[in-house]
Amino acid sequence: MMGTNTPANAFWGLPSSKANFCEEDYVVTRYVAEFINSLTNLCYIIYAIYGLRQLQQKRNVEFSRAIPYWGLMAVGICSAAFHISLQYHTQMLDDLSMLFTTTPLVHRVLTVNADRKSSFVTGLFVYSALALLVTYHVTTDELILHASFFVGSIAVIGIRTMQLLKRRTVENSATRRQFWGMIVFGAVIFHLGYLVWLVDGWVCEWLRTTRAAIGLPWAWLLELHGWWHIFTGIGAYIFIAVIDHLVSGEDQDIHGRFAWPASWASQSIFAGVGSTMIGADDKTHK
């Protein structure tokens, strides 16, 4: 926890959350504890709205396909509420919204082409584990098991997404290359987000000193936790959208289906990097 001096007129009072980040509290307004860390959560909300609007343009779409996007929006709202107030109950909302977003995706990627019974059993196991973790986390306010479950979920989603693309028949090799570009870019930017999250804690004093010397508004570029929100928001959207596209069987036409920078990544150097995976994959099927 990064210690800060809370002003006497702070609207939300003294922080009661276990976590507090490198951005200094109540600098911009007495109503928002961490201004940039709150504002950057719009990234999750904007991508969630885009994904939901894309689904609305299709016919006979099952509600289950919209759940990950609603979860992504919940992450943005709950995280913003936490950074605005720095209170314990909003921290719990932030923590749990992350798990409520990843768990449906885990269930979906694990049950592709599974029958109803297998899907039910897998769902029972996954959601029971989630319920136990939520109960334990709220009761003890521990972070290690929570973080481990979240990271484990991300790993399962990433690995299964790559497996799905390798197994999915995509007649157009260019389309397959574009998918790999988005997947590779999504993984890279998600890991970059985690890196800046770590750096934000490691060199906090240096960051604060440098921001004070630079002054606003350019100092806001060094609010690294805000970049964590932006990078993970992009990465999460990419994997949600790619998984939905692959599982729904709509992987033959992806033109205009993905928001920037996913659309850019599908045509960029990341697609070239992914082509090596395609080549290895094609050899195994000859």
pLDDT (tens digit per residue) in 76-131: 999 999 999 999 999 999 989 988 889 988 998 888 878 888 889 999 999 999 99
Per-residue pLDDT, 253: 59
- Distance, in Å, from the CA atom of 189 to the CA atom of 191, rounded to the nearest integer, reads 5
Per-residue pLDDT, 64: 80
Per-residue pLDDT, 285: 45
- All structural domains of the chain with their residue ranges: 35-277
Per-residue pLDDT, 227: 96
With tokens 């692959």, the residue in question is 246
Low-confidence residues of the chain: pLDDT under 50: 1, 3, 280, 283-286
Burial of 155 from C-beta contacts in 10 A (0-12 / 13-18 / 19+) = exposed
3-state class of 32 per DSSP? strand
Per-residue pLDDT, 254: 67
Per-residue pLDDT, 252: 57
**Cα 150 versus chain centre, distance:** 10
Per-residue pLDDT, 57: 83
Query: Does residue 229 have a known ligand-binding role?
Result: yes
The CATH number for 35-277, chosen from 1.10.720, 1.50.10, 1.20.1070, 1.10.3210, is 1.20.1070
Per-residue pLDDT, 52: 94
Query: Does residue 34 have a known ligand-binding role?
Result: yes
Per-residue pLDDT, 76: 95
Q: What is the pTM of this model?
A: 0.86
Q: How many residues does the chain have?
A: 286
Per-residue pLDDT, 40: 97
Query: Does residue 23 have a known ligand-binding role?
Result: yes
